[in-house]
Chain A
Amino acid sequence: MSGPLRLAFAAMVVLLVAAPFVVYPVFLMKALCFALFACAFNLLIGYVGLLSFGHAAFLGGAGYGSAHAAKVWGFPPEAAILFGTLVATLLGAVIGALTIRSRGIYFANVTLAFAQMIFFFAVQAKFTGGEDGIQAVPRGTLLGVLDLRQPYVMYFTVLVIFLAGFLIVYRAIHSPFGQVLKAIRENEPRAVSLGYRAEHYKLIAFVLSATLSGLAGATKALVFQLASLTDVHWTMSGEVVLMTLLGGLGTVFGPVVGAFIMIGLENYLAQLGAWVTIVQGAIFVVCVLTFRRGVVGELGRALRTPL
């Protein structure tokens, strides 16, 4: 990792380790799950250039998977999260295979179409509990030793999961694989002519993005001890776009910052009711018009170093 990035990473870890003693841990855990979700989403849009409008399918699908595994099958938390993530991987593979040949607005729409079908399935299937969701999901004991009902234990578990996901995304981008993705994004026909099977690379990136989104969703289900339709609804797909845009598309730390800001705003504005969507919309507008690089992007530009 380059110098400034390493510094930024260290700063992030220190902040996140100290935070739960100052800020309410459940809020932080929610933000971390969404930060991971946004990082996964950013992999696809920031580095491959594909806007997916259906990522909620992975977040929510994994959430249902892990909630069901933990509550009904009695899986220990690590197995439940793994199971949820695998559900997302599977969904990602199937949907990815079917959609990866599309591009631009068509890709956005076809991913939305599949996400809507998953939503419909979630409404109809008995095990999801419809609009009540899967409630009272037990957090259990991690690896038979750590009691996840203790807030700090849960927090640090979530933090480890987040950091692992974050580093996986980082590694994927800063690797030969990532370079090929960039080449494809810049000029796909040329990459193909150089012998790279562009569609394979895009599909792998898609499945990776889906898997990590699933990891976020599966973890979130245990944090809140519930899985609900909100997580498979298309507006959730819109929220992750907003977080990533706000933080900075194609930056390393952008999605994390964007997620924290959005979750913080939602929390703060919850007291004010209807203003939440108005402020979110206004942020979208401002970002697209004047702040296109996002918070981290602009910061990186000011400091002349990619963040």
Chain B
Amino acid sequence: MLGIPTQALFGQLLIGLINGAFYALLSLGLSVIFGLLNIINFAHGAQYMMGAFVAYFLLQWAGLGYWWALLLAPLVVGLVGILLERAMLRWLYQLDHLYGLLLTFGLALVIEGVFRNEFGSSGLPYGIPPQLTGSYNLGFMFLPVYRAWVVVFSLVVCLATWYVVERTKLGAYLRAATENPALVQAFGINVPRMITLTYGFGVGLAALAGVLAAPIYQVNPLMGANMIIVVFAVVVIGGMGSIMGSIVTGFALGVVEGFTKVFYPEASNTVIFVIMALVLLVRPAGLFGRTA
């Protein structure tokens, strides 16, 4: 079919879904932060990179492996994110969103520059944890166990986050606090603290994606810079403010990219932007976006 054997096509489709799951997880943190806090966090890529590096450090210096990293890296980087928010971001809430974008863009440059200075640009090795090595023979392809893990884990985290934000009381408070902070504060809820913790949570999600990426992509100071604009595209297409939107778009992007890699591979990094332009022309607030 379409010039390549069906078996191969299935393999590519599966790969596409796996990548899509990863994109969804990667965009989740950004979506939470923008959706709930109206902050455009351009430092997301740098925080993703920090997550991978923390995983590397935990292994090198403390002998703590992957499973520890999954728990600790988001906490560590999330904490750094909280410090950032307290020290710098909160002064910008009254201003145009774009100042937040510029600040976090600057922070990303600084963080990436410092890491590059210290660790060079070739990257550092990080292996797949022993429990997840090997592959499943699916007939039409060999699926590495680790990749299967990536899909499952990403799906779980994405759905759990969506559920918490959209379907629980905590999430409701959060959403109310963004819309009308004064009113929610009057009810006795500490709005600034909630905002800070939410930002930390979003950053932690970025770092979590970083840990997930460390065994398959080189742990490299440039790893965030390479994909930050793609992640932004996913969130924008999904609609800024819609968590389900970015999850769905993440998966969809993975599949579309997967097909592009088969039929027009050179364009696989650019196809997302074509889609973004098309979507924004037809629906200026994104697919599931709330306000323009």
Residue A238, interface by CB 8 Å: yes
Chain B window 77-115, contacts with chain A (Cβ cutoff 8 Å), 1 for yes, 0 for no: 000000000001001100001110111011111111110
Q: B97 to A278, Cβ gap below 8 A?
A: no
Is the CB of A234 closer than 8 A to any CB of chain B?
Answer: yes
B88→A285 contact, CB < 8 A: yes
Q: Is B281 touching A284 in the complex (CB atoms < 8 A)? A: no
Q: Does B232 contact A (CB under 8 A)?
A: yes
Bound CA–CA A292/B100 (angstroms): 12
Chain B, Cβ-Cβ closest to A103: B292
Find out whether the CB atom of B236 lies under 8 angstroms from the CB atom of A106.
yes
Taking a contact as CB atoms closer than 8 A, the residue among A102, A108, A277, A283 that contacts B112 in the complex is: A277
In the complex formed, the residue of B with least CB distance to A281 is B109
**Are B273 and A112 closer than 8 Å at their CB atoms?**
yes
Does A104 sit at the interface, judged by CB under 8 A?
yes
Give the distance in Å from the alpha carbon of A292 to the alpha carbon of B116 in the complex. 28
Residue A201, interface by CB 8 Å: no
Given contacts A288-B92, A288-B106, contact A278 B117 (CB under 8 A): yes
A157 at interface, CB cutoff 8 A:
no
Instruction: Name the B residues within 8 Å of A285 (CB-CB).
Output: 88, 103, 106-107, 110
CB contact between A102 and one of B109, B269, B273, B284 (< 8 Å): that residue = B284
In the bound complex, residues from chain A placing their C-beta under 8 Å from that of B292 are 102-103, 106
Interface size (A, Cβ < 8 Å)? 41
Interface residues on chain B, number (Cβ under 8 Å): 41
> Chain B contacts of A153 at CB under 8 A?
none
Q: For chain B, residues 223 to 281, give those with C-beta under 8 angstroms from any C-beta of chain A.
A: 229, 232-233, 236, 240, 266-267, 269-270, 273-274, 276-277, 280-281
Mark out the residues of chain A between 22 and 73 whose CB falls within 8 Å of any chain B CB in the assembled complex.
51
B113 touches A277 (CB 8 A): yes
**B55 in contact (CB, < 8 A):** no
Partner of B280, one of A113, A241, A274: A113
Closest chain-B Cβ to A91's Cβ sits at a distance in Å of 14
From known contacts A101-B284, A108-B101, A234-B229, infer whether A117 and B273 are also in contact, taking CB-CB under 8 Å.
Answer: yes
Q: Find A116's partner among B108, B114, B273 (CB 8 Å cutoff).
A: B273
* Dominant secondary structure at the B interface: helix
| Cβ-based interface call for A114 (8 A) | yes
Render A85-101 as a binary contact track against B, CB cut-off 8 A, 1 for contact: 00000000000001101
| A102-132 interface code vs B (CB 8 A; 1 in, 0 out) | 1111101110111011011001100000000
Residues of B contacting A104 with CB < 8 Å?
A: 97-98
Q: Specify the chain B residue showing the minimal Cβ separation from A123.
A: B266
Q: Which of A114, A274, A275, A281 contacts B277 (CB 8 A)?
A: A114
Distance between Cα atoms of A124 and B91 in the complex (Å): 44
Instruction: Report the nearest A residue to B230, measured CB to CB.
Output: A116
In the complex, what residue of chain A is closest to B271 when comparing beta carbons?
A120
Q: Which residues of B contact A106 (CB under 8 A)?
A: 236, 240, 280, 284-286, 292
Contact B229 A105 (CB under 8 A): no
With CB as the reference atom, state the residue of chain B lying closest to A276: B113
In the bound assembly, the distance between CA atoms of A145 and B105 in angstroms comes to: 47
Other-chain contact of B98, A51, A120, A234 (Cβ < 8 Å): A51
**Interface flag for B40 (CB, 8 Å):** yes
Cα separation A245 to B277 with both chains bound (whole Å)? 26
Enumerate chain A residues within 8 angstroms of B98, measured Cβ to Cβ.
Answer: 51, 104-105, 108
Question: Is B116 touching A274 in the complex (CB atoms < 8 A)?
Answer: yes
- Inter-chain contact B88/A289, CB cutoff 8 Å: yes
A113 pairs with B233, CB closer than 8 A: yes
- With both chains docked as a complex, state the minimum distance between the C-beta of B292 and any C-beta of chain A, in angstroms: 7
A contact residues around B273 at 8 Å (CB): 112-114, 116-117
A110–B277 touching, CB < 8 Å: yes
Q: Bound state CA distance, A108 and B103, in angstroms? A: 15
Return chain A residues, CB-CB under 8 Å to B99. 288, 292
Nearest Cβ distance between residue B148 and chain A, in whole angstroms? Answer: 32
- Please tell me if the beta carbons of A117 and B274 are within 8 angstroms of each other in the complex: yes
**Cβ contact within 8 Å between B277 and A98:** yes
On whether the beta carbons of A284 and B270 are closer than 8 Å, the reply is no
A17 interface residue, CB < 8 Å from B? no
Q: A277-B113, A289-B91 are in contact. Are A102 and B102 (CB under 8 A)?
A: no
Q: How far is the CB of A115 from chain B (nearest CB, A)?
A: 8
- A237: min CB distance to chain B, Å: 10
* Given A105-B97, A280-B109: A274 in contact with B117 (beta carbons within 8 A): yes
B113 — nearest CB in chain A belongs to which residue?
A278
Question: Nearest Cβ distance between residue A86 and chain B, in whole angstroms?
Answer: 23
Given contacts A277-B109, A285-B103, whether A105 and B88 have CB atoms under 8 Å apart is: no
Hey, which chain A residues are within 8 Å of B284, CB to CB?
101-102, 106
**Given A102-B292, A116-B273, A281-B106: 16 more A-B contacts, CB < 8 Å:** A98-B281, A105-B98, A109-B233, A109-B276, A277-B112, A277-B116, A278-B109, A281-B109, A281-B110, A282-B106, A284-B105, A288-B102, A288-B103, A289-B88, A289-B91, A292-B99
The 7 nearest A-B residue pairs measured at CB = A284-B106, A281-B109, A278-B113, A281-B110, A113-B273, A277-B113, A120-B270
What are 23 A-B pairs at a CB distance below 8 A?
A: A98-B277, A99-B280, A102-B284, A103-B292, A105-B40, A105-B98, A108-B98, A108-B101, A114-B273, A116-B273, A117-B270, A117-B273, A123-B266, A238-B105, A242-B106, A276-B113, A277-B113, A281-B108, A283-B106, A284-B106, A285-B106, A288-B102, A289-B91
Q: Point out residues on A near B: beta carbons under 8 Å.
A: 51, 98-99, 101-106, 108-110, 112-114, 116-117, 119-120, 123-124, 234, 238, 241-242, 245, 274-278, 280-285, 287-289, 292
